[in-house]
Chains A and B, each alone.
Chain A
């Protein structure tokens, strides 16, 4: 067997292994996956500060703040700190309107400093026992904050909880694909929390104990993904991060494929910088499960997937026309899928992933009483499984390239 084929088979093996790993995690601990703590009463709830960094969000901030005003968290225990990062539109003015509610305060920067510094400004001014960071284009349910707070009460070692981040009202195919992606991520994040390996506290909405910022420090403004970076720092100290499946927050999807790719490049670059530069010492086998799930997992998916996808594309493209004719009574394209062991196992992987993704999404939707996937979702499912995956090699290559050449770090989607 030549070296190239051996390399390809090993990549397929790694990918099948990673997919099965999550499956086994689920099978062994499935009861804990569905655990939802009892909601706390008003008296039991702690004081909560919600930090909302804002930059040119326009009317979105109105929906965001209206949802908070209507939430059922006791207002005498709630403090909202809107930090305007020198917006040039009417975001500041809209936020100021909400100062008529005594628990909402608006802070501002004179010049644009970035999301991390905006959050830090809010955290430094916060007085709550719990501090949540919320994106300004996200909308919470009435009981989201209460549900998140409940996790801290019934698992006292919990230092942070990530919310159930979902896409708000997806309409186009690209938005629906992201909706599927987010729901899948939620499920797998929940599985990772079972082995204390969550490596990101999403900026969409995450809730922290105050102590986290005192012991771990504030958000790092050098990072493109400060939410990932702070989570890695928390893991460094052995702090527990949990993932809620019953505390929804709805955020906007990227409206176009171009913007989606830009956002993903930012995420991946942030991951590279955090893991391979700042926290490279955490590639340490003594960290146990976190070493695999928290530090190695992304890389383990990235490299084999890229190699395999590029190989498959090459195989399809390089097949001469006449090879597509009927062979032995079946279309040669199908024939090639089964005739080659590599292709056959890759196909098995695709099928497993497809079924697993559907199952994961439906479990999440069941938990928050949302509509399950049905036949009407086939188009976006097909795009998600057969098309969306193929943009990732490009995302990874661009991210690596930009990180290596030291391309300017900025939020390109904003």
Chain B
């Protein structure tokens, strides 16, 4: 580049033409002015001429008085406040207007759950078992979508309304109960995971990763698994209290997985596997006994090892509260590599 020294001829020519034009204009102006000065018609001209003569000779350096142009700073400050507040107002309005669709969705979900609960309590088992599988995909989709959006709101808006979250947990819990009833009464084998996490600062560094694994799991199973997420740190909520009583989780994340398929009248549907600590998508598939559906690396014989403790899991079966103490004494968490 430096060694080249050749200019773009086109741009050069354009520049030279402009310079020539300016030179001609200037010569014209100078000629007019000189003519005026010669006639003595321009006092201004002679004054300027004298001023110019003075300009080069003597020293002109004078200390510029320093000043604050206060009006500039003040007006700029006011405008900045306005812009700032406008930005905050726009996002507040946007956020609030965006929240209203979520509340509407929760209302629709609530109506769907009420309908099924009504059928369950007032209609026959056959009616419930016919209607539930038809409604299940919609319930799953709605619950998942609302959960994602609430999570996003919570992350982006610090003054998030926590009661919205409580409301969501209540809907989830009722949906979970319906699912368990359906598994028991209708011989449904829909697997589920109850995911207890914590958003409280410093209590669950692995929870974000676990959330991602559950998202991947749902994608892999094409929505045929039900995932219910609860923030275990919100101990004021009645649903969280109920889950705490049942599962006595003490660490985060805690995952409660369904294992054997439900059978009518069998207590096996209450069989759940509890995992304390991080679990990857593959480990969850394994624990759920669903790995074969997805041509996983392990063969069918490894299913028999599902219930054995792997070095990095603390797993145990629970059948109600009775085994809680056993679970509690089972040992430490291993955080699994992501």
Q: What is A's interface to B at a CB cutoff of 8 Å? A: 1-2, 5, 12-13, 16-17, 20-21, 23-25, 28, 38-41, 44, 46, 56-60, 62-63, 72, 129, 137, 139, 141-143, 152-153, 156-159, 168-169, 195-196, 209, 211-212, 215, 237-240, 252, 255, 286-290, 292, 320-323, 325, 327-328, 332, 335-336, 338-341, 343-345, 347-348, 352, 369
For B63, the chain A residues whose CB sits under 8 A away are 237-239
Cα separation A69 to B88 with both chains bound (whole Å): 59
For B95, the chain A residues whose CB sits under 8 A away are 338-339
- Which residue on chain B has the smallest CB distance to residue A238? B63
Q: Are B158 and A156 closer than 8 Å at their CB atoms?
A: no
User: Is B67 part of the contact surface with A, judged by Cβ < 8 Å?
Assistant: yes
List of 10 A-B pairs having minimum Cβ-Cβ separation, nearest first: A59-B5, A238-B63, A345-B87, A288-B66, A344-B91, A58-B3, A341-B88, A238-B64, A142-B19, A46-B56
For B86, the chain A residues whose CB sits under 8 A away are 348
User: Is B301 part of the contact surface with A, judged by Cβ < 8 Å?
Assistant: no
Can you report 19 A-B residue pairs in the complex whose CB atoms are below 8 A from each other? A17-B77, A23-B79, A41-B33, A46-B55, A58-B2, A60-B5, A72-B23, A141-B15, A143-B22, A143-B23, A153-B55, A156-B51, A209-B61, A240-B64, A287-B66, A320-B212, A320-B215, A325-B148, A339-B94
For B87, the chain A residues whose CB sits under 8 A away are 341, 344-345, 347-348
Among the 9-residue stretches B68-76, B169-177, B192-200, the one with 4 or more Cβ atoms under 8 Å from chain A is B68-76
Q: Are B76 and A21 closer than 8 Å at their CB atoms?
A: yes
Among the 9-residue stretches B149-157, B223-231, B240-248, B251-259, the one with 4 or more Cβ atoms under 8 Å from chain A is B149-157
Cα separation A322 to B208 with both chains bound (whole Å): 11
Given contacts A157-B62, A328-B101, contact A338 B55 (CB under 8 A): no
* B4 in complex: contacting residue of A17, A40, A59, A347, CB < 8 Å: A59
* B94 in complex: contacting residue of A25, A290, A292, A338, CB < 8 Å: A338
18 further A-B contacts with Cβ under 8 Å, apart from A153-B52, A156-B55, A332-B152, are: A17-B80, A23-B76, A58-B3, A59-B2, A60-B5, A141-B15, A158-B60, A169-B8, A195-B69, A215-B61, A239-B61, A321-B215, A322-B148, A327-B152, A328-B149, A339-B153, A344-B90, A348-B87
Q: How far, in Å, is A31 (CB) from chain B's closest CB?
A: 15
- Which residue on chain B has the smallest CB distance to residue A195? B69
Given contacts A24-B72, A142-B19, contact A137 B79 (CB under 8 A): no
Q: How far, in Å, is A74 (CB) from chain B's closest CB?
A: 13
* B152 in complex: contacting residue of A59, A212, A323, CB < 8 Å: A323
User: Is B18 part of the contact surface with A, judged by Cβ < 8 Å?
Assistant: yes
User: Is B121 part of the contact surface with A, judged by Cβ < 8 Å?
Assistant: no
Q: Are A137 and B61 closer than 8 Å at their CB atoms?
A: no
For B64, the chain A residues whose CB sits under 8 A away are 157, 196, 238-240
Cα separation A62 to B30 with both chains bound (whole Å): 32
For B23, the chain A residues whose CB sits under 8 A away are 72, 142-143
Q: Are A252 and B1 closer than 8 Å at their CB atoms?
A: yes
For B152, the chain A residues whose CB sits under 8 A away are 323, 327, 332, 335-336, 339
For B266, the chain A residues whose CB sits under 8 A away are none
For B238, the chain A residues whose CB sits under 8 A away are none
Cα separation A335 to B157 with both chains bound (whole Å): 12
- Which residue on chain B has the smallest CB distance to residue A343? B91
Q: How far, in Å, is B71 (CB) from chain A's closest CB?
A: 7
Q: Are B211 and A320 closer than 8 Å at their CB atoms?
A: yes
- Which residue on chain A has the smallest CB distance to residue B33? A41
